[in-house]
Amino acid sequence: MKLSIVTTLYNSSDYINEFYQRILLEAKKITEHFEIIFVNDGSPDDSLDVSVQLSEQDSRVKVIELSRNFGHHKAMMTGLSHTQGELVFLIDSDLEEEPELLGEFYNAMSCDKYDIDVIYGVQRKRKGGFFEKVSGQFFYNTLNHLTELKLPENIVTARLMKKSYVTELVRHDEREVFIAGLWQITGFNQKSITVNKHSSSETTYSFRHKMSILENSIVSFSNKPLKIIFHTGLLISTISFLYIVYIIFQKIFMSIDIEGWSSLIASIWLLGGLIILFIGVIGIYLSKIYTETKRRPYSIIRRIHEKKQ
């Protein structure tokens, strides 16, 4: 098979039919041997019914029905693990990323002289209002500062990948999936193309959700917070030791009594807060280890819908 197209479904029923028609036209320009894989991520609307109807009409359409909502990233990894094509195109189904990007990415990959393995999209201008833009900028700045990932800013889901890359990508067996980080650390020759992303619906990535992803991605790809704890503790200990030496010097050689209960209490509260904070950071890493060692599957498939040939 030449091409596999993977997309996820969550509150997507309004877009599925148009997405299918448009992606179908693009795929036929490349090859007649392709498959379209819809991954229903426990969508509360009738996305499953709409996509299953397509699978009953077109043998090239396969619908992977997950047993519940596992999250966007895990649903994408599930879909990628079921691809058979030499090329794999991953895209969201909500039409914010145009299905016509498939043709654009394919032409870019075919014409490139450096044997590119992945073509991915980066937003020309981040969509959304002021808060969404600021929170997105904060997310990327913090992530790149605390990890070694150095992710491109405003990266989108749409990407065309060779099968060799996808095979290595799905080998990552983490329970808590941050797919943008996995895209990066898998390596291979990757090239970005600037794209326009439309705003067809309200984002499902709330600030709380973004912070949850940020926390997970930092502890998954970096040990810098643990190093910061060590160096902060070392700095406080050094300053405390030097201050004690200073107090002793004043007491013995200058006969000066040091007063100041307010500063003492403030110092105790400061150190107590730091201790609680640091224990919390270590606890996050321990919870990550706890989750990974249980080896639970990151998604569970309830049923695969496809037309029997």
| Cβ-based burial of 296 (10 A; exposed 0-12, middle 13-18, buried ≥19) | exposed
Q: What digits encode the pLDDT tens for the residues 163-198?
A: 999 999 999 888 778 888 888 889 899 999 999 887
Residue 124, C-beta contacts closer than 8 angstroms, at least 6 positions apart: 194, 195, 196
Residue 265, Cβ neighbours under 10 Å: how many?
10
User: Would you kindly state where each structural domain of the chain is located, as residue ranges?
Assistant: 3-132+154-202+296-306, 224-294
Check residue 195 and report its DSSP letter.
Answer: E
Q: How far is CA 41 from the centre of its chain?
A: 16
What is the pTM for the complete model shown?
0.77
Whether 255 has a pLDDT exceeding 70, the answer reads: no
CATH code that applies to domain 3-132+154-202+296-306? 3.90.550.10
Query: And the tokens for 46?
Result: 């009738």
Distance CA 131, CA 120 (A): 25
pLDDT of residue 210: 66
Residue 284, both tokens: 């996050």
Per-residue pLDDT of 103-144, as tens digits, reads 999 999 988 777 899 999 998 776 556 666 676 677 677 767
Edge-to-edge strands, sheet with 301-306: 190-195, 118-123, 155-162, 87-90, 3-9, 34-40, 61-66, 301-306
Q: Is the pLDDT of residue 281 over 70?
A: yes
In this structure, of 18-22, 24-28, 178-182, the range with the lowest mean pLDDT score is 178-182
Q: Which of 243, 249, 300 is nearest to 271 (CA)?
A: 243
Is residue 265 pLDDT above 70, yes or no? no
Give percent of the chain with pLDDT exceeding 70.
83
